[in-house]
Chains A and B, each alone.
Chain A
Amino acid sequence: MTILINSKNQQKESLQPKGFLRYFSFSLDHKVIGIQYLVCGFLFYLVGGSLASAIRIELASPMSDFMPRDVYNQVLTLHGTIMIFLWIVPVVNGAFGNYLIPFYVGARDMAFPRLNAVAFWLIPPSGLMLIASYFVDGAAQAGWTAYPPLSITTPQSGQIIWILSVLLLGGSSIFGGINFIATILKLRRPGLKLMQLPMYCWAMLGTSILVVLSTPVLAGTLILLSFDIVAHTGFFNPVLGGNVVVYQHLFWFYSHPAVYIMVLPAFGLVSEILPIHCRKPLFGYTTMVFSIMGIVVLGLVVWAHHMFTSGTPPWMRLFFTIATAFIAVPTGIKFFNWVATMWGGKISINSAILFSCGFILNFVFGGITGVALAQVPFDIHVHDTYFVVAHFHYIVYGGSVFVIFSSIYHWFPKVTGKLLNEKLGIFHFAITFIGFNLCFAPQHWLGLNGMPRRVAEYDPQFQLINQVSSIGALLMAVSTIPFLINIFISVKNGKKAGDNPWNALTPEWLTSSPPPVENWKGEAPLVKEPYGYGKTIISEK
């Protein structure tokens, strides 16, 4: 079968454009699609980042003087939507998943290559549509949560375009999820057992299960919301007898797992990067697998902790507090496993491992504030304040985005055959880490003192801290420059990396860099111990 499929693919492949142009084509090659996801996501990251900078400029002074208030609402809505649906979700899932999973399972492509290409090509149009909505009567203003009745009463065209765009992105995400599940479970090389797979496969399996189970619920909810807006039904409109809390339940049934959809793949990527650069086996492989699956199960039953102030009954508060606190257990296991992996290892200090360590530090901090937020009395105090903003960004920026950068430094030689410049990389890490913490750590204080989020104006007593935060944001914006310079210089003139610059044992490094079209020249290697460092003698070049 594989041979048949391959010959078909090869025929298709020969019709596809070669070289740089293939990245603009409907390519079926999982490696091309992975890079398409990554570059497309990064471009949207630049857009979302510019919007974030605009927000921080506005918040540098207590008055609404940089932009009108309704534009501020649009900017924060677009910032949230773009960063979540067009940058982190497609990149940690689509980009790295597509590039790495077929290597890890010993396949030549994903299970459904055409579906894969469709999933990617849904993203650019929906992203552009979302951005373009700004020029049509203004973009959506109700935040990335689109809570009714706010989303019903704000200008309609922007909100409808927002819904359409998120529906398309959700579809893309579901197609990707189906593909990953089928590839990991059904396309494994003969002889390769599930418990021998690299950890990222497990992370993607868990993530894809969450995607397949929860994204459709969001789709259904948004369809109902669009009925409320266009056809004036009353599902979520209290004036017409509807129920806004039902929207919140359905929305968070997706959007809490969405946090795990953004961070579980990042866990997987870190678990790949750490053992290689510490020259030690991944600590506690089995517990890692079980904690991922534990997070998947628990992640589906904690959604109402976003709704402690929505009139939730006491039993519900109790249940969701306990369930949320429980999630700290598998997450904590993973954290200690990473530390134990590094413990006593031969750690080489490079940009990849620095970003991974940055992730661990930031994530622990975000995790602790997360457990704090799970407690009802505390949550009620800081609900809808900057404390939540800080917590969330510690998870998704300090967590996922740090891992994305770490992964780019780690796998750049795989994709291009060139090494990135380490000095620029370490400089990039330093200002990202300082800028990030300078930007978001003070926001905990702002939230504890009651500064509400999503408002363009604030009490002048908060000005100094907000300015500190804005300086941090400026540093984060600047940090993109050395990164981009690094990428452009290294693609052209980078130091030759060789096939396996890190002396890694995971399957993707056992082929040439960049890999051939069908991944392997001969048969796929059977890697039973992807983390066998210290056990196997590796020839040091």
Chain B
Amino acid sequence: MTSIKNSSEIEKSSQIEEHHEDFRMFGLITFLIADGMTFAGFFAAYLTYKAVNPLPEGAIYELELPIPTLNTILLLVSSATFHKSGKALLNKKNADSQKWLLITASLGIAFLICQLFEYFNLPFSLTDNLFASTFYALTGFHGLHVTLGTLMILIISWQTRPNGGIVSFKNSFPLEAVELYWHFVDGIWVILFIILYLL
């Protein structure tokens, strides 16, 4: 009896050990917490400026809502399409997964184009005043994340190709990792949108 119990215990423990993805995902989450703290620092700086430093007379700092609202929708939809891609991969439908990834990537590119369009049409530039600088620093740092994310999605979509791609049902971690990162970047955008545009 005891020996059977022992062997099942050993099996259990080896199963725990074999759960490989577990700590890679854990490491990524830890990294994203660190990354989130960078944003938290920026947000804290911006909110402090807003509370303490008045906008000097004659300085222009005005934001319009339509483009960022569109951008918010783009990113939220892209999160959903990425989720679809992950589900398709788990159902062993690599072609579908790749299709959804490419849609996600184009939504990311669309976001970046809109962002650039907004930059070129704003009435202030980087060094005009404190709030202008903070605006560009925050959105720029986030845009950098979107750019990196889009590049990673393009790489992953190539790796998910139906014939010969290394990302598949069996090896889904790369896709899941990028997916988590993408959701994180989305979440940051929502917070940024609220703090920078709505408050």
Contacts and interface: CB of A to CB of B under 8 A. Distances in A.
Contacts of B56: 241
Contact of A181 (B30, B38, B39): B30
Nearest to B133: A233
Contact of A243 (B30, B53, B141): B53
A168 B145 CA distance: 18
10 contacts: A1-B17, A174-B31, A182-B30, A212-B34, A221-B41, A231-B127, A232-B127, A233-B126, A241-B56, A241-B59
Interface stretch (B18-26, B95-103, B164-172, B174-182): B18-26
B27 A215 contact: no
B119 to A, nearest CB: 15
Contact of B20 (A1, A181, A234): A1
Contact of B130 (A111, A181, A241, A253): A241
A212 B33 contact: yes
B34 A215 contact: yes
Closest 3 pairs between A and B when the two form their complex, measured CB to CB: A186-B23, A190-B13, A217-B41
Interface in A201-233: 212-217, 219-221, 223-224, 227, 231-233
Given A112-B27, A233-B127, A241-B56, A217 B40 contact: yes
- The prevalent SS among residues of B at the interface is helix
B37 A186 contact: no
Given A1-B18, A217-B37, A243-B53, A187 B23 contact: yes
Contact of A235 (B16, B39, B134): B134
Nearest to B53: A243
Interface string A161-195: 00000000000001001110110011100110000
Interface in B24-60: 24, 26-27, 30-31, 33-42, 44-45, 48-49, 52-53, 56, 59
Most buried by A among B24, B27, B134: B27
Nearest to A240: B130
Contacts of B130: 234-235, 240-243
- The prevalent SS among residues of A at the interface is helix
A243 B52 contact: yes
Contacts of A213: 33-34, 37
A257 to B, nearest CB: 11
Contacts, number: 108
A214 B127 contact: no
Interface of A: 1-2, 4, 111-112, 115, 174, 177-179, 181-182, 185-187, 190-191, 212-217, 219-221, 223-224, 227, 231-235, 240-243, 246, 249-250, 253
Given A191-B13, A241-B56, A241-B130, A186 B22 contact: yes
B133 A178 contact: no
Given A1-B19, A233-B126, A243 B49 contact: yes
B106 interface: no
B70 interface: no
A231 B126 CA distance: 9
Contacts of B23: 111, 182, 186-187
Contact of A219 (B22, B38, B45, B49): B38
A220 B38 contact: yes
A185 B129 contact: no
A186 B34 contact: no
Contacts of A242: 53, 130
Contacts of B127: 231-234, 240
Contacts of A243: 48-49, 52-53, 130
A217 B41 CA distance: 5
Contacts of B36: 216
A234 B129 CA distance: 7
A283 B165 CA distance: 56
B175 to A, nearest CB: 19
A246 B16 CA distance: 46
Nearest to A241: B130
B15 to A, nearest CB: 10
A241 B20 CA distance: 52
Nearest to B130: A241
B84 to A, nearest CB: 30
Contacts of B49: 243, 246
Nearest to B19: A1
Nearest to A247: B45
Contacts of A231: 126-127
B80 interface: no
A253 B30 contact: no
Contact of A212 (B13, B30, B133, B137): B30
A246 B133 contact: no
Contacts of B31: 174, 178
A235 to B, nearest CB: 6
A173 to B, nearest CB: 10
Given A190-B13, A234-B127, A178 B22 contact: no
Nearest to B21: A1
B118 to A, nearest CB: 19
A194 B107 CA distance: 44
Given A4-B20, A221-B41, A246-B48, 19 more contacts: A1-B19, A112-B24, A181-B30, A182-B23, A185-B26, A212-B34, A213-B37, A215-B34, A220-B42, A220-B141, A221-B45, A224-B45, A227-B137, A233-B127, A240-B127, A240-B129, A241-B130, A242-B130, A243-B130
A111 B23 CA distance: 8
B143 to A, nearest CB: 14
A179 B39 CA distance: 22
A246 B30 contact: no
Contacts of A185: 26
B38 A217 contact: yes
Nearest to A243: B53
Contacts of B35: 216
Nearest to A232: B127
